[in-house]
Amino acid sequence: MASASNPLHALLRCPQTGQTLAPAPRELIERLLAAHRAGTLKNAGGEVPEAFEDGLVTLDGARIYPIRGGIPVLLVGEAM
């Protein structure tokens, strides 16, 4: 799970915009997970993403990068 106290998160940036990333609010992750289970969630590549347990969101809230197995996936096509 993402943690605001993780010093590594302070260094992470959106690969597309360069914005800093923050742990996504739990209620947002829950909504995304529900859409994922329903098969309606699409990533920036237009595909249903692989399973994820958490995410990092850009400051403007436009992109969320999944965290899988505790590892942020910072690929533009994986953003949701």
First to last CA, the chain: 17
Q: What is the dihedral of CA 57, 35, 47, 45, to 10 degrees?
A: -30
- Residue 22 in contact with residue 57, Cβ under 8 Å? yes
- Contact between 14 and 63 under an 8 Å Cβ cutoff? The reply is yes
- Predicted model pTM: 0.86
Place of tokens 């958490």: 54
Q: What is the pLDDT along the chain (80 residues), one digit of tens a residue?
A: 444 456 666 789 999 999 999 999 999 999 999 999 999 999 999 999 999 999 999 999 999 999 999 999 999 999 99
Annotated domain spans of the chain: 7-78
Give the tens place of pLDDT for each residue, 47-69: 999 999 999 999 999 999 999 99
